[in-house]
Amino acid sequence: MALREIQTAAEVFEERMVKELVPEAEAEIRRFETEIARLEQGELDPDDFKKFRLENGVYGIRGTTDRHMIRVKIRYGFINPLQFECVADITEKHAPNQLAHITTRQDIQLHEIKRTDVPGILRRFAEVGLTTREACGNTIRNVTASHYAGISPKEVFDVTPYADLLSLYFLRHPVCQSLPRKFKIAFEGSPEEDYAKVGIHDLGFVAQKRVIDGKEVRGFSVFVGGGLGTIPYPAQLLEEFCPIELYLPTTEAVLRIFDRNGERKDKNRARIKFLVAKWGIEAFKAEFLSERRQVIATASGKEAFWKIRFEEEKPPALKTPPPTEAPSVLPGYEEWLRSNAFEQKQKGYYAVNVRCPLGDMVPDQMRKLAKIARAFCAGRMRTTIAQNMLIYWIPKDSLKALYQRLSEAGLALKGANEIRDITRCPGADTCQIAITHSKGLAAEMAKLFEDGLGGDETLKGITVKISGCTNSCGQHHVANIGFHGASKVVDNRAVPHYQLMVGGYTAQNGLAVFGKRIAQIPAKRTPDATRAILETFKKERGAHEDFVQWSGRAGVQHLKNIVEPFTTIPSYDDEPLMYEDLGDPGKPFQVQIGKGECAA
């Protein structure tokens, strides 16, 4: 398959409008207009329309048939200020909640968009170089990468060009247009780091180097068969060292095996993790090696590979030097610097995490951040799987001035990647299969951490992740403290609950450990139960013991005993507010699960 466009990291940040869309994008947008007209005239089956719109990144949402969620693919997290401003403009004009939501796959989602507005929105995205194509459906989803790629002092090499090439090569590729299920790929730049969470992906690449015949060779450790959902599986090592010239054939071979052998009748068991578990990793490896020989023999991917560009990203060229003037004393600066700034491998430069509570940003914040990025680092921006924004290539002398600008914009919240930086999915606000409003719990939990616990040095490294159902879009399985939505009948009424899971995490070299199920806790009592766990940890921890070590030593029964007092609630007559869901006050709780579209 010929590849007509290759972008380097530097080219991603060229702020330019596209004068003419590539033919494929133009055809898809025009077809969207046609299919909407046919649907509204009763000439098109709604299920046929659903498959088409999902392939183009447009989901159905709860409670409506003519409004949608649009998911924008931010390939390996790279986005420039012009693109960010485009998202802000569309959010302001078309999203009733005025929020752009950053996801755990580095995408950006907009909710409750009128169906008739979708084609025009897709065109605007395409004009600034963004796409929604294959952001949903049974395809390769957005290709993610460590947000520190290219700047981490520990990385073996910058994985950005490889993530870039793979994402473009397989976009609209025939081999992945109708897979048994969605397929997620991640790149990590170092076996010593785990920002990409390779261990929970269908296919993952970790940068490595080997000396072969006296020459240093770049390549990847390859992992396959990871995934969360109702039944999580950790990824397994497929190949210790895959030379870079084989990483595209490797991907295609795995996809071909999955396409032929993946489950197509029972969508609940259709992910590749079930195929790997069924065959066993050794049998899968043998089939993979045979398949890859066939891919190589047909030269698939070879033309694309030799177009890749390997140059290292260089310091941004600014017409005007970045600001350095700032007051000598700025309240909160030192703490923000410790928690949010990251020293790059390039001497004298820093990356800064901009914390976005609950993963949300409003249009004004987006425009201000785009302006700040232009002034300080020529627009170097990324989304992160922690649902934040990263701006990087900030000169050390400009950090204080940057903090001042971010503070003025309301974007200098400390605690990025710490306990107060909670991961959450959209939940029952919009998702058709969510049970609870996970955003509501995340908001209440944030109050808990902003009220003292968040600044406790012994707690900072703990991760908290929340999903509205068992599917783990909020990655609750790999949280130190994780929750997913559930329901119980109490006093003859449905009551929102959260299943508490403790002890999950991911680590370097593809390791994924899933949390143990502890108890179901009523939604309104979940923050108090969390506080009890954290306070017990502080009292019982050993001198050098972290939360995961303590929880493993404490054991499931002890953890159950800690939260048991919070698992009951009064009768409805005594306390009716306890029967409401967090984030949905004043309404009786009801389990309203529609038909999910992830597996459409």
Is the pLDDT at 4 greater than 60? The verdict is: no
CA gap 324, 198 in Å, rounded: 38
Q: What pLDDT score does 587 carry?
A: 87
The per-type count for the chain, helices as H runs and strands as E runs, is 17, 22
* Nearest partner of 254 among 266, 265, 239, judged by Cα: 239
* Token representation of residue 297: 């023999």
**DSSP conformation class of 198:** G
Is the pLDDT at 597 greater than 60? The verdict is: yes
Task: For residues 275-280, give the mean pLDDT.
Answer: 98
Q: What pLDDT score does 9 carry?
A: 47
Name the amino acid, one letter, at 463.
Answer: T
Q: In sequence order, what are the residues at sequence separation of 6 or more whose Cβ sits closer than 8 angstroms to the Cβ of residue 114?
A: 66, 67, 94
Bridge partners, residue 239, by sequence: 222
Q: What pLDDT score does 441 carry?
A: 95
Is the pLDDT at 12 greater than 70? The verdict is: no
CA gap 497, 500 in Å, rounded: 9
* Nearest partner of 166 among 202, 210, 137, judged by Cα: 202
CA gap 504, 509 in Å, rounded: 16
Torsions phi, psi for 58 (to 5 deg): -125, 115
Torsions phi, psi for 314 (to 5 deg): -105, 160
pLDDT band at 203 (very low <50, low <70, confident <90, very high): very high
List the strands of the sheet with 236-243, edge to edge: 144-145, 185-188, 203-212, 215-224, 236-243
Domains of the chain: 9-127 (3.90.480.20), 144-305 (3.30.413.10), 333-408 (3.30.70.3340), 423-579 (3.30.413.10)
* Token representation of residue 319: 């017409």
Is the pLDDT at 1 greater than 50? The verdict is: no
**DSSP conformation class of 131:** B
Neighbours of 483 (CB within 10 A): 32
* Nearest partner of 238 among 309, 185, 190, judged by Cα: 185
Torsions phi, psi for 221 (to 5 deg): -80, 135
Cα–Cα distances (Å) from 542 to 458, 529, 546, in that order, read 11, 22, 8
Q: What pLDDT score does 331 carry?
A: 95
List the strands of the sheet with 349-354, edge to edge: 78-79, 381-383, 389-395, 349-354, 341-343
CA gap 36, 180 in Å, rounded: 26
Q: What pLDDT score does 335 carry?
A: 95
* Token representation of residue 305: 């590979």
Residue 410's SS3 state is coil
Please report, to the nearest 10 degrees, the dihedral formed by the alpha carbons of residues 518, 519, 523, 526 taken in order: -50
* Nearest partner of 563 among 530, 514, 516, judged by Cα: 530
Q: How much is the pTM?
A: 0.95
CA gap 312, 589 in Å, rounded: 54
Q: What pLDDT score does 167 carry?
A: 94
444-470, pLDDT tens digit by residue?
Answer: 999 998 877 888 999 999 999 999 999
Cα–Cα distances (Å) from 463 to 324, 416, 418, 547, in that order, read 34, 11, 7, 10
Cα–Cα distances (Å) from 303 to 4, 88, 174, 255, 433, in that order, read 10, 37, 17, 19, 42
145-172, pLDDT tens digit by residue?
Answer: 999 999 999 999 999 999 999 999 999 9
Q: What pLDDT score does 179 carry?
A: 96
Name the amino acid, one letter, at 592.
Answer: Q
Task: For residues 498-503, give the mean pLDDT.
Answer: 98
CA gap 478, 514 in Å, rounded: 5
CA gap 235, 511 in Å, rounded: 8
CA gap 280, 287 in Å, rounded: 11
pLDDT band at 6 (very low <50, low <70, confident <90, very high): very low
pLDDT band at 13 (very low <50, low <70, confident <90, very high): low
Q: Say which range, 108-122, 251-265, 294-308, 548-562, has the weakest mean pLDDT.
A: 294-308
Q: Say which range, 346-360, 376-390, 426-440, has the weakest mean pLDDT.
A: 426-440
| Mean pLDDT value across the chain | 93
Q: What pLDDT score does 309 carry?
A: 64
CA gap 572, 576 in Å, rounded: 5
List the strands of the sheet with 516-522, edge to edge: 423-424, 464-467, 481-490, 493-502, 516-522
CA gap 339, 241 in Å, rounded: 35
**DSSP conformation class of 175:** G
Task: For residues 20-48, give the mean pLDDT.
Answer: 93
Torsions phi, psi for 293 (to 5 deg): -60, -40
Q: What pLDDT score does 7 carry?
A: 47
Task: For residues 430-443, give the mean pLDDT.
Answer: 92
CB 544, CB 510: distance < 8 Å: no
CA gap 342, 155 in Å, rounded: 14
Task: For residues 516-530, give the mean pLDDT.
Answer: 97
Q: In sequence order, what are the residues at sequence separation of 6 or more whose Cβ sits closer than 8 angstroms to the Cβ of residue 499?
A: 470, 483, 484, 485, 486, 517, 519, 520
Percent of the chain whose pLDDT exceeds 90:
84
